[in-house]
Structure formats: C-alpha cells, structure tokens
Amino acid sequence: MNIKSSINSIMIIDPDEKNNSILKDIFSRLSIKMNIVTPGFGFLVGLKNQQHDCVLINSELPDNQAIRILDKIKWEVPNMIVIILLNKPNINKIIEFVRHGADDFIQKPFTFEDIEKILTYYYY
C-alpha cells in the first residue's frame, strides 16, 4: 500500500497563491486531488460530505481564523487529519494548535519530500 492509494483528496485552507501553486505541483506528482478553499466557512461543505482525507491550514490566517477553523473541523469530523502550515516555528503557537487538535506541522518553505514524508506517516 502507498499514499497514492490511501488518499483521494486534500483540502487546503491557505490564501497564499505561491504556497498553493507549490502544493498543486506536489499533489499532482502524488496523484492526489486537492481543493483550495477560502478561510471562510465554505470549507464546511467539503467536510460534511466527507470528500477529503486531510486538511492543511495556513497558521497565519488573520484574526485567529486558523484556530477557529481547526476547532470547527475537529468538531464536525473528529478523526480528520489536520496539518498546520507554519511560516516560522513559534512554540507558543504550536502548543495552542496542539491543544485545539492539530495532528502535525510543516514549516514553510516546504519541499515535495516534506509533504510526502508527513503523508506517508499518516497514510501508509
């Protein structure tokens, strides 16, 4: 079994077009569909329909939106794997995300290998 056969789709909540372009290339190479959604509550439709296997959230969303989105995801789909994209490591921020249910973290800038490694951990 490999991650390509274990993951069908990943939801990305990140307004950063540069990151999304990099992620699009990575997930294309892994044959994984990705859905980029806005930080508003439009992401709930995909969650409620169980269309996604994993969610990646930008930690730097304004007004503490990343935490609120994480809370909503974990409330709606408690077993959903949620990975936080960090701009820079900050232990206090990491602790806060862990307390709210984040499963893991990837520091920007990330590589194909970084993404592949973390997905392999959860899906292989």
**Per-residue pLDDT tens over the stretch 104-123:** 999 999 999 999 999 999 88
Pairwise CA distance, residues 55 & 53, whole Å: 7
Please, are residues 105 and 86 in contact by the beta-carbon 8 Å criterion? Answer: yes
What's the distance, Cα to Cα, between the start and end of the chain in Å? 7
The domain that holds 7 is classified in CATH as 3.40.50.2300
In this prediction, residue 46 has a pLDDT band, given cuts at 50, 70 and 90, of low
Between 41 and 117, the higher pLDDT residue: 117
Mean of pLDDT values over 35-39: 81
Question: Which tokens sit at 65?
Answer: 């939106």
Residue 121, classed as helix, strand or coil, is: helix
DSSP string, 57-90: EETT-GGGHHHHHHHHHHHH-TT-EEEEEESS--
pLDDT of residue 92: 93
Residue type, 102: A
Number of domains comprising the chain: 1
| Domain span at 38 | 3-123
